[in-house]
Amino acid sequence: MSRILIIEDEEVIAELEKDYLELSGFEVEVENRGDTGLTRALHEDFDLFILDLMLPVVDGFEICRQIRAEKNKPMIMVSAKKDDIDKIRGLGMGADDYITKPFSPSELVARVKAHLARYDRLVGEGLPVNDVIEIRGLKIDKTARRVWVNDEEKTLTTKEFDLLTFLASNPNHVFSKDELFQKIWDMESVGQDIATVTVHIKKIREKIEYDTSKPQYIETIWGVGYRFKI
């Protein structure tokens, strides 16, 4: 289901948009302030944004600019003034569409559907998609740096993630602790030694293994190092 974020300070309008979009099967979140809306837009996973132009604290121009710097998801800008729409269109703000208030909710729904379909088509045509490794219930999204075991998300530290991903990207290859330490810690190793590899492997196992005494993923090769089993 596609998730949509509406940033709109006029609550009646926001609720109307939300109702119509939900009736069309979308999951919809509303924020009434620019600053809170921007925070959620940047940190949560939405498929499309609907932005009002005039908003408290942070306006739609700034929100549009900041979202566009980080995400390529469709953005529809809404304004009560036709002149403003012409102005932002001229500025090339990076929004995908502009609608002048008042508009019919069904028109908004039609535009949302068109932009989501267009985005899916572009992704299908080779826009970058996430690089994912999936092995026996373990899923690592290398692009988003997220890990799941049997669909349950696990939180790994940066080094735990790097170490797990390196091993899983080179399955059936035995690496010594020295090799792993050099590969993952490299130049930042001041004050650390290869024992940190053992500590990190233990922590990763606690997070991803069903039974840490019988690891299914990272196998210990005694006297040598570790291997990711496939």
Residues near Ca ion (CB under 5 A) are 9, 52, 54
Q: How far is the CB of 194 from Ca ion (least distance, A)?
A: 58
Q: Which is nearer to Ca ion, 52 or 160 (CB)?
A: 52
* CB 84, CB 65: distance < 8 Å: no
Q: Which is nearer to Ca ion, 36 or 182 (CB)?
A: 36
CB atoms closer than 10 angstroms to residue 60: 26
- Of 180, 174, 214, nearest to 199 by C-alpha is 180
Q: Which is nearer to Ca ion, 33 or 177 (CB)?
A: 33
- Of 89, 101, 96, nearest to 68 by C-alpha is 96
Q: How far is the CB of 83 from Ca ion (least distance, A)?
A: 15
Q: Indicate the residue whose CB is closest to Ca ion.
A: 54
Q: Which is nearer to Ca ion, 58 or 149 (CB)?
A: 58
Is the torsion defined by CA of 10, 100, 60, 109 positive or negative?
A: positive
CB atoms closer than 10 angstroms to residue 121: 10
Q: Which is nearer to Ca ion, 17 or 52 (CB)?
A: 52
Residue 48 β-bridge partners: 4
Alpha-carbon distance values, 53 to 50, 127, 128 (Å): 10, 29, 30
Q: How far is the CB of 20 from Ca ion (least distance, A)?
A: 18
Q: How far is the CB of 218 from Ca ion (least distance, A)?
A: 53
Q: How far is the CB of 5 from Ca ion (least distance, A)?
A: 15
- Of 194, 131, 129, nearest to 163 by C-alpha is 194
Tokens (6 digits) for 143: 């692009």
Q: How far is the CB of 25 from Ca ion (least distance, A)?
A: 27
Q: Which is nearer to Ca ion, 54 or 116 (CB)?
A: 54
Give the three-state DSSP class for 3.
strand
